[in-house]
């Protein structure tokens, strides 16, 4: 049976991270939402997705082997990319019969059919109500990250026979809660404390001297943890990141750098981001009340329901040295921020300057920087990417 992961019309709820990606490609836990859902049917031959048309050219360029918005024959299981995967959700999906769909109130969760259409006509299907929940915002992903780190580890990485050797001087607490990938390197003084949750160090990652990691934590492929870093539980670091200082409860999508001292807590950091030395964020209000944050679709601040919420930062954003970011701040795509002013509330996409003196980042200069940044990783900022970012740039007007 082929699994097909589909985005519904909730993509704006996850802006700015989904301005340039599918909901299913958001990272949470050890993997992306799509990858976790695909693991339900491990025999599926290809990655199959249904995404909005503005993303199709970029996805077809990056993933020529995927089936994107395509007709597929045979038995198919459609899963909403926002699905919160729990044991109860798995049971409901496995019990679903062909010609049926799962609904929670008005939200479509899953469909099981045998036909050749791109997306089946829901009106012709048997509707089965169920209490399965869907993610509705980025703060919900941040809140659920620690749970998913534990779940992913025990479903996909835990091995009673797992044996690994580390360099002399490396301390490992609760080693059966630790998974080390091929080629991972550890310098003396590193502490891996998995007493409160698992730690996964993926292939080719490097942990420098005197870094302390307290699980649950994931460090992605070829990522670097800097000297003396303090990485607390609930943190997921995607591939090819460089992370130092103090980090807690934060998701790095991938290819981003926070190399220097400074605190980053309960935040969601996109790709191709660089945080300057001594960039700090607040993740807790002095009143201890739940944090509000800016919602793109509502064009206003809304209650996150989270007591802890740092910042949300879109791709290709940069901060200068000594930047301070207020609790619950949302920073859009392609921003370049510097100066001593407190960064707060909402910074629109493609903003440039000090927090209270912002101007528009000129699009040609943005592209020039994006080309340079990706070339450093031996990657290309393609014309297809440029066209998508140009649409986003014009959309903000």
pLDDT of residue 163: 66
What's 281's domain CATH number?
2.160.10.10
pLDDT of residue 117: 79
Residues 292 and 191 in one domain: yes
Residues 122 and 152 in one domain: no
Pick the closest to residue 326 from 308, 310, 305 (CA basis).
310
* pLDDT tens column, 214-270: 999 999 999 999 999 999 999 999 999 999 999 999 999 999 999 999 999 999 999
pLDDT of residue 162: 67
Residues 77 and 145 in one domain: no
- Which stretches of 316-378 are DSSP H helices? 363-375
For residues 95-121, give the mean pLDDT: 90
Q: Which residues contact 82 (CB under 8 A, 6 or more apart)?
A: 8, 10, 23, 33, 134, 135, 136
For residues 383-392, give the mean pLDDT: 98
Rounded distance, CA 389 to CA 350, Å?
Answer: 10
As for how many domains the chain has, the answer is: 2
Q: Which residues contact 265 (CB under 8 A, 6 or more apart)?
A: 246, 247, 248, 249, 250, 281, 282, 283, 284, 308, 310
Residues 266 and 356 in one domain: yes
Computed over every residue of the chain, the mean pLDDT equals 95
User: Angle 234-13-296 (CA atoms, 0-180°, nearest 5)?
Assistant: 115
Identify whether the C-beta of residue 129 lies closer than 8 Å to the C-beta of residue 80: no
Residues 223 and 330 in one domain: yes
Higher pLDDT, 1 or 255: 255
What's 55's domain CATH number?
3.90.550.10
Instruction: Please identify, among 115, 136, 157, the residue that sits at the C-terminal boundary of a domain.
Output: 136
Percent of the chain with pLDDT over 90: 88
How far does the chain reach from its first CA to its final CA, in angstroms?
A: 44
Identify whether the C-beta of residue 389 lies closer than 8 Å to the C-beta of residue 369: no
Q: Is the pLDDT of residue 397 over 70?
A: no
Residues 29 and 168 in one domain: no
Residues 218 and 270 in one domain: yes
Angle between helices 363-375 and 383-395 (to 10 degrees): 140
Rounded distance, CA 211 to CA 229, Å?
Answer: 5
Identify whether the C-beta of residue 254 lies closer than 8 Å to the C-beta of residue 205: no
Residues 88 and 132 in one domain: yes
Rounded distance, CA 256 to CA 160, Å?
Answer: 33
10 Å CB burial of residue 27 (0-12, 13-18, 19+) is: buried
* pLDDT tens column, 132-183: 999 999 999 999 999 999 999 999 998 766 667 777 899 999 999 999 999 9
Residues 207 and 233 in one domain: yes
Enclosing domain of residue 86: 2-136
Residues 17 and 109 in one domain: yes
Residues 9 and 68 in one domain: yes
Residues 167 and 234 in one domain: yes
pTM of the predicted model as reported, rounded to 2 decimal places? 0.96
Residue bearing tokens 């995404």: 51
Instruction: Please identify, among 112, 136, 160, the residue that sits at the C-terminal boundary of a domain.
Output: 136
* pLDDT tens column, 367-381: 999 999 999 999 999
Instruction: Please identify, among 95, 112, 136, the residue that sits at the C-terminal boundary of a domain.
Output: 136
């Amino acid at each position: 049976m082929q699994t097909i992961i589909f985005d519904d019309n909730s993509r704006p709820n996850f802006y700015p991270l989904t301005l340039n990606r599918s909901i299913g490609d958001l990272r949470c836990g050890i993997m992306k939402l799509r990858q976790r859902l695909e693991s339900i049917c491990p025999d599926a031959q290809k990655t199959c997705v249904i995404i909005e048309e503005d993303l199709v050219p970029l996805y077809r360029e990056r993933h020529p082997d995927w089936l994107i918005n395509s007709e597929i024959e045979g038995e198919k299981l459609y899963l909403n990319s926002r699905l919160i995967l729990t044991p109860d959700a798995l049971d409901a999906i496995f019990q679903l019969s062909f010609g049926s769909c799962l609904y929670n109130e008005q939200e479509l969760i899953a469909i099981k059919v045998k036909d050749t259409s791109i997306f089946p006509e829901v009106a012709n299907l048997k509707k089965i109500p169920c209490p399965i929940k869907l993610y509705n915002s980025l703060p919900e992903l941040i809140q659920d990250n620690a749970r998913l780190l534990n779940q992913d580890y025990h479903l996909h990485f835990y091995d009673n026979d797992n044996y690994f050797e580390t360099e002399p001087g490396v301390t490992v607490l609760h080693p059966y809660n630790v998974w080390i990938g091929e080629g991972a390197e550890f310098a003396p003084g590193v502490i891996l404390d998995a007493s409160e949750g698992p730690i996964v160090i993926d292939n080719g990652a490097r942990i420098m001297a005197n870094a302390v990691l307290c699980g649950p934590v994931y460090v992605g492929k070829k990522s670097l943890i800097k000297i003396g870093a303090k990485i607390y539980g609930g943190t997921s670091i995607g591939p090819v990141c460089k992370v130092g200082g103090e980090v807690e409860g934060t998701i790095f999508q991938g290819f981003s750098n926070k190399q220097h001292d400074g605190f980053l807590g309960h935040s969601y950091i996109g790709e191709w981001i660089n945080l300057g030395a001594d960039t700090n964020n607040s993740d807790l209000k002095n009143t201890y009340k739940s944090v509000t944050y800016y919602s793109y679709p509502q064009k206003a601040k809304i209650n996150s329901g989270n007591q802890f919420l740092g910042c949300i930062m879109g791709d290709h954003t940069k901060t200068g040295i000594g930047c301070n970011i207020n609790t619950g701040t949302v920073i859009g795509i392609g921003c370049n921020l510097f100066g001593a002013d407190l960064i707060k509330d909402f910074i629109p996409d493609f903003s440039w300057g000090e927090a209270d003196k912002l101007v528009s980042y000129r699009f040609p200069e943005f592209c020039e920087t994006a080309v340079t940044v990706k070339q450093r990783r031996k990657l290309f900022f393609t014309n297809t990417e440029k066209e998508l970012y140009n649409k986003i740039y014009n959309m903000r007007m």
